[in-house]
Chains A and B, each alone.
Chain A
Amino acid sequence: MSEPLIRLESIKKVFTTDEVETHALAEVHLDIREGEFVSIAGPSGCGKSTLLSILGLLDTPTSGTYMLNKKPASGLKLADRARIRNREIGFIFQSFNLIGDLTVFENVELPLVYRGMPAAERRNRALNVLEDVGMSHRARHLPSQLSGGQQQRVAVARALAGKPSILLADEPTGNLDSANGESVMELLKELHRRGSTICMVTHDTRFAGAADRTVHLFDGRIVSEEEARKQHTA
């Protein structure tokens, strides 16, 4: 079997505030293979978002090993982490996190700006991904002029613009009504069908089922993993 795209070994995350230690993650082992769609599920406060933050290099584990694309992703300098986030990872957030002062087009091209890509290439790439998510006709709009579902589509386009190795989606349907939520999930499934690797955090069982594999977290530990229509206890 080929090396996984992501490998977490014995990942532990402890938050310390006012001499109180909170164990957010404990002994997490997780592999994600290229082209796989993994969902991470669990109740509030179980460590889902912390795990996603570590996967997205927005946070560092207290201990353990993180390999991304066969390379160690822990202990990196800030600049290297920023570069990897920019080139290897695409984020999709629950609250979209579009920048209100920038147009849809500018939001989508932003990661490419940080990459130093020439303007013409940026423009082509951004318009293409907007076309892919069906939002090219709104390129000049501001986020505040779009519905929640449309904003999330733009966020997906922004995540795709840099052609990342993996898409990390944190409750992508959490702020949407059911119709828009369905629509965004369809978009993610379509991306997966086209070969994208996706890791999605959700507590919505309807959408967790769309993934190839669902990892269940509880109190910072992986308590079970469930492959589509097949489950084994950890």
Chain B
Amino acid sequence: MATFLIDFRLALRSLLKSPLFTVTAVLTLALGIGANSAMFSAIRGLLLKPLPYREPERLVALWESRPGQAQPRLPFSAPNFFDWKDAAAAGLEGMSIVSRGTLDLRTGGEPQPVSVLQVSPSFFDLLGARAHLGNTFAPGMDRPGQNQVVVLSQGLWRREFGADPAVVGRSVTLGGQPHTVIGVMPEGFSYPSDHRQDLYTPFPRPLNDEGRGSHGYRAFGRLRPGVSLAAARTELAAIAQNLASLYPATNEGCSAEVRDFRADLLGAGAKPILLLMGAVGLLLLIACTNVANLFLARALSREREVALRAALGANRAQLFSRFLAEGLAIGLVGSALGLLLAALLLKVLPSVLPNTGNLNNVQNLGLDGWALLFTFACSFLVSLAFAAAPAWQLKPSQLNLQLRQGAKGSAAPGRLRSALVVGEVALAMLLLLSAGLLLRSFLKVMDTHPGFEAGGVATFTIELPETRYPQETQQEAFRAELERRLEQLPGVASAGSCQLGPFSGSGASTYVNIGPTSLSHVRWPHQADMNAVSPGFFKSLRIPLLEGRGLEPTDKAGARPVVLVNRTMARTLFPGGSALGQRLMLGVSSQAVPENSLWEIVGVVGDIHQRDLERAPRAMYFVPTSQVAGSPLTFYLRSTASFGALRAGIREQVNGLDRDLALRDFAALEDLVRDSAGDRRQTAILLGVFAALALLLAGIGIYGVVAFSVAQRTREIGIRMALGAQVSQVLSLILGQGLRLAAAGILLGLAGALFTGRLLASQLVGVSAVDPLTSLGVAALLCAIALLSCLAPALKAARVDPGAALRAE
């Protein structure tokens, strides 16, 4: 031990004498350990940690299904859910509906929009959660008259009620109706969702069959012990078939789908995270390769030192101890810095990670012990193994030769080092290609025109509480009056509104039939997205009218039902002919237009993107809000006024109509469109950062090999110059060496990309996984970095004094 301590002290001294080597090795290790520990921790925290509920493996996601249809898995309609629940499947302990919404909460002052989760009374029991204060919902609290109770989240309780322990029993106004606070949930409790949850209320049990064909609610359940997913699915499918025979018009062909809760929540959200994980994994490999390379280079220059120590009597164990001490010192400092970097990254990651469906709380990410151990182990083993390389290279039978040859050494370690650099470049190529493809996808998406002009448009949403606006005529009257008042605001050129705002995350798909039919609507041959809009909607968003006329004030309740279709719908339904004047049956009904009415197409408008810029616009139709009124309502104001002034003006106008309504989601429409690609941007940026680091490390790797090679080849360069080589010829000799390494790595990386491209394909939009332009661009970038990395060694080679080099023998 005492000898090792001496070796450790000497190792520190020796490392301090080689600051370039030491700093490069330490930073490379720190980077590998830091980035990987942080990302591994994030992955474990977000995706792999058990869900924070009682026996989470027994939780299942429940779906209605329509096998063989374009959208085989459907959210629940409320009547169907309650019928399933009442059928009390033997395989389930219970099931809960989950519906997210925003309601206005008034606790005294201005109403505030709060995020509300409407759930079944059994929701908390199914998750195994107990209240921090008071109680959760009791059975039957979803019945009319008993459902005006709320359970607060810990956050809302602290924020709005000052953590008042006497809050239980207090009355609050939610959505314009009085509610009683019955409990507060503990810190950290939340249902997995993309959105914050402020409070929970019971989902009201429907009084009739209205809305059986309208699917929009998530549901989950808990399996009884020992019941499999398949058994539960069979049982629920039987219930669904029973309902199909009872309600053929809406439920024909309906079945049931039971899925693992975690897998269902995760959906496609895990892919970008796993992609990033793969990226940092590659980064760790590159970092380890670089450290190995650095140590190998150092080993070559120390062959004579090792031989001398052996000649003086050091045995192999003593030689190992000497060099392992260096590896240990580098490993310790690199790990400590890596730990710091990981801690820093974990602070930043929650704000830059793409959305994973918030399986676990992204804000609570902590450094994971196993992740740390894994990356420590990788990096430490590499530094220790390669630090000992000089001792490995000792050949006791050739001590004399090694003493004389010293740093000239054999070609084998040089080949190994070159192979390592080729591998590094290949990995960097993979990362750069992936980042490049994602970046191009992102740019393609951002380059897509949404079908409307978002610039200069402000938007906000108003929810009209059903209790105070029960009639569609009231809702429409409010909308029309508010829209009229908004148009009077200074700087406002036009105002419009709709029920399902583009890029607000909402949308609805319905069945469509051309002409009259007696078939149940699930048998209608077409599907299209619907929206109810005001005449000003198209003007404010500048959606072009292609044929016919737009909506007019005369298209009101009681008048002939009219509809506008978009170009895609017109072409799909009436290929080669005009859509104008055609009559459709639509899967919408209202108090003004009864079910199975015929709607006349009076105009064709341009296609717009409803949910995001990635998917092509779908068939879509627009009915007037005057004929299908509803809430929430999203307003659009094309205006030149400042946002602050506009917001104040809007607030004043809303207050003038109803002081209890909150303004929600006030934003620039342009921001909504841009943010719709936010996850894609985040993934591209993060991958880009990792790729840049990989590029840097590959550059360092190439520099290391070429610089060392120049040092080794000084004499050869001297000979070449003595034979008449010009400076340019020496430069091209050295630059060519670096370029050859880069080219080999690029080719290897391209071959690897053929495989990784398949993994990446699902994340790409408008660009192929083997896109030649991106491949060429990335290859050119790598070549440029290789040239840059070789420049200093090449210039050094060009400055070799041939006389001195030849004398040095």
**Interface residue? B803 (CB, 8 A):** yes
Q: Are A53 and B803 in contact (CB under 8 A)?
A: yes
Residues of A within 8 A of B722 (CB): 56, 58, 85, 91, 97
Q: Which stretch from A1-9, A76-84, A226-234 is at the chain B interface?
A: A76-84
**Interface residue? B807 (CB, 8 A):** yes
Q: Are B727 and A79 in contact (CB under 8 A)?
A: yes
Q: Which stretch from A109-117, A129-137, A177-185 is at the chain B interface?
A: A109-117
Nearest chain B residue, comparing its CB with the CB of A88? B724
Give a binary string over B706-732; 1 marks a CB under 8 Å from any A CB, 0 the rest.
000000000110011111111101000
Give a binary string over B490-506; 1 marks a CB under 8 Å from any A CB, 0 the rest.
00000000000000000
Give a binary string over A157-181; 1 marks a CB under 8 Å from any B CB, 0 the rest.
0100010000000000000000000
Q: Are B726 and A97 in contact (CB under 8 A)?
A: no
Closest approach, in angstroms, between the C-beta of A116 and any C-beta of chain B? 10
Residues of A within 8 A of B715 (CB): 97
Q: Are A111 and B723 in contact (CB under 8 A)?
A: yes
Q: Are A82 and B803 in contact (CB under 8 A)?
A: no
Nearest chain B residue, comparing its CB with the CB of A168? B722
Interface contact tally, CB-CB below 8 A:
52
Considering residues B719, B723, B806, which has the most beta carbons from chain A within 10 angstroms of its beta carbon? B723
Given A95-B809, A97-B719, A99-B719, A58-B724 contact (CB < 8 Å) = no
Q: Are B716 and A99 in contact (CB under 8 A)?
A: yes
Closest approach, in angstroms, between the C-beta of B319 and any C-beta of chain A? 28
**Interface residue? B624 (CB, 8 A):** no
- Residue from A53, A82, A99 within 8 A of B724 (CB atoms): A82
**Interface residue? A87 (CB, 8 A):** yes
Give a binary string over A205-234; 1 marks a CB under 8 Å from any B CB, 0 the rest.
000000000000000000000000000000
- Give the distance in Å from the alpha carbon of A95 to the alpha carbon of B689 in the complex: 51
- Residue from B716, B725, B806, B809 within 8 A of A82 (CB atoms): B725
**Interface residue? B450 (CB, 8 A):** no
Q: Are B803 and A58 in contact (CB under 8 A)?
A: yes
Q: Are A58 and B802 in contact (CB under 8 A)?
A: yes
**Interface residue? A152 (CB, 8 A):** no
Closest approach, in angstroms, between the C-beta of B407 and any C-beta of chain A? 15
**Interface residue? A93 (CB, 8 A):** yes
Q: Are B720 and A87 in contact (CB under 8 A)?
A: no
Residues of A within 8 A of B806 (CB): 58, 93, 97
Q: Are B724 and A85 in contact (CB under 8 A)?
A: yes
Give a binary string over A95-126; 1 marks a CB under 8 Å from any B CB, 0 the rest.
10101100000000011001100000000000
Residues of A within 8 A of B719 (CB): 97, 99
Count chain A residues whose beta carbon lies closer than 8 angstroms to a beta carbon of B.
24
- Give the distance in Å from the alpha carbon of A58 to the alpha carbon of B803 in the complex: 5
Q: Are A111 and B724 in contact (CB under 8 A)?
A: yes
**Interface residue? A49 (CB, 8 A):** yes
Closest approach, in angstroms, between the C-beta of B715 and any C-beta of chain A? 8
Closest approach, in angstroms, between the C-beta of A76 and any C-beta of chain B? 13
**Interface residue? A86 (CB, 8 A):** yes
Give a binary string over B776-809; 1 marks a CB under 8 Å from any A CB, 0 the rest.
0000000000000000000000000011001101
Nearest chain B residue, comparing its CB with the CB of A94? B809
Given A58-B806, A99-B716, A79-B723 contact (CB < 8 Å) = no
Q: Are A86 and B803 in contact (CB under 8 A)?
A: no
- Give the distance in Å from the alpha carbon of A80 to the alpha carbon of B723 in the complex: 13
- Give the distance in Å from the alpha carbon of A158 to the alpha carbon of B715 in the complex: 17
Give a binary string over B6-39; 1 marks a CB under 8 Å from any A CB, 0 the rest.
0000000000000000000000000000000000
Give a binary string over A52-87; 1 marks a CB under 8 Å from any B CB, 0 the rest.
010010110000000000000000001100110111
Residues of A within 8 A of B720 (CB): 99, 110, 114
Residues of B within 8 A of A162 (CB): 724
Tell me if A's interface is mostly helix, strand, loop or mixed. Answer: helix
Residues of B within 8 A of A91 (CB): 722-723
Closest approach, in angstroms, between the C-beta of B3 and any C-beta of chain A? 38
Residues of B within 8 A of A87 (CB): 724
Nearest chain B residue, comparing its CB with the CB of A161? B723
Given A93-B806, A97-B806, A99-B716, A78-B727 contact (CB < 8 Å) = yes
Given A58-B803, A59-B803, A97-B719, A86-B809 contact (CB < 8 Å) = no
- Give the distance in Å from the alpha carbon of A53 to the alpha carbon of B807 in the complex: 10
Q: Are B723 and A158 in contact (CB under 8 A)?
A: yes
- Residue from A53, A59, A100, A114 within 8 A of B723 (CB atoms): A114
- Give the distance in Å from the alpha carbon of A79 to the alpha carbon of B731 in the complex: 13
Q: Are B723 and A86 in contact (CB under 8 A)?
A: yes
Residues of A within 8 A of B721 (CB): 82, 85
Closest approach, in angstroms, between the C-beta of A199 and any C-beta of chain B? 15
Residues of A within 8 A of B727 (CB): 78-79, 82
In the complex, which residues 750-790 of chain B have their Cβ closer than 8 Å to any Cβ of chain A? none
Residues of B within 8 A of A59 (CB): 803
Nearest chain B residue, comparing its CB with the CB of A93? B806
Residues of B within 8 A of A58 (CB): 722, 802-803, 806
- Give the distance in Å from the alpha carbon of A91 to the alpha carbon of B809 in the complex: 16
Closest approach, in angstroms, between the C-beta of B406 and any C-beta of chain A? 15
Closest approach, in angstroms, between the C-beta of B662 and any C-beta of chain A? 78
Nearest chain B residue, comparing its CB with the CB of A59? B803
Closest approach, in angstroms, between the C-beta of A170 and any C-beta of chain B? 9
- Give the distance in Å from the alpha carbon of A93 to the alpha carbon of B805 in the complex: 13
Q: Are B725 and A114 in contact (CB under 8 A)?
A: yes
Residues of A within 8 A of B809 (CB): 95
Closest approach, in angstroms, between the C-beta of A223 and any C-beta of chain B? 23
Residues of B within 8 A of A99 (CB): 716, 719-720
- Give the distance in Å from the alpha carbon of A83 to the alpha carbon of B721 in the complex: 10
Considering residues A58, A83, A95, which has the most beta carbons from chain B within 10 angstroms of its beta carbon? A58
Q: Are A86 and B802 in contact (CB under 8 A)?
A: no
Residues of B within 8 A of A86 (CB): 723-725
- Give the distance in Å from the alpha carbon of A165 to the alpha carbon of B715 in the complex: 25
- Give the distance in Å from the alpha carbon of A49 to the alpha carbon of B723 in the complex: 17
Closest approach, in angstroms, between the C-beta of A138 and any C-beta of chain B? 19
Considering residues B721, B725, B803, B807, which has the most beta carbons from chain A within 10 angstroms of its beta carbon? B803
- Give the distance in Å from the alpha carbon of A93 to the alpha carbon of B719 in the complex: 10
Residues of B within 8 A of A85 (CB): 721-724
Nearest chain A residue, comparing its CB with the CB of B799? A78
- Give the distance in Å from the alpha carbon of A49 to the alpha carbon of B807 in the complex: 9
Q: Are A114 and B803 in contact (CB under 8 A)?
A: no
- Give the distance in Å from the alpha carbon of A53 to the alpha carbon of B720 in the complex: 15
Residues of B within 8 A of A53 (CB): 803, 807
Q: Are A82 and B807 in contact (CB under 8 A)?
A: no
Closest approach, in angstroms, between the C-beta of A234 and any C-beta of chain B? 27
Given A58-B806, A95-B809, A114-B716 contact (CB < 8 Å) = no
- Give the distance in Å from the alpha carbon of A95 to the alpha carbon of B408 in the complex: 15
- Give the distance in Å from the alpha carbon of A57 to the alpha carbon of B720 in the complex: 14
Nearest chain B residue, comparing its CB with the CB of A84? B724
Residues of A within 8 A of B716 (CB): 99-100
- Give the distance in Å from the alpha carbon of A111 to the alpha carbon of B725 in the complex: 8
In the complex, which residues 22-57 of chain A have their Cβ closer than 8 Å to any Cβ of chain B? 49, 53, 56
Nearest chain A residue, comparing its CB with the CB of B728? A79
Interface CB pairs A-B, < 8 A, 14: A53-B807, A56-B722, A58-B806, A59-B803, A79-B726, A82-B724, A85-B721, A86-B725, A91-B722, A97-B722, A99-B719, A110-B723, A114-B723, A114-B724
Task: A58-B806, A82-B726, A162-B724 given; name 9 further pairs at CB < 8 Å.
Answer: A59-B803, A82-B727, A83-B726, A86-B724, A86-B725, A91-B723, A95-B809, A97-B715, A111-B724
Show the binding face of B for A, using Cβ within 8 Å.
715-716, 719-727, 729, 802-803, 806-807, 809
Give the 6 A-B residue pairs with the shortest CB-CB distance, closest first. A86-B724, A58-B803, A59-B803, A111-B723, A114-B724, A53-B803
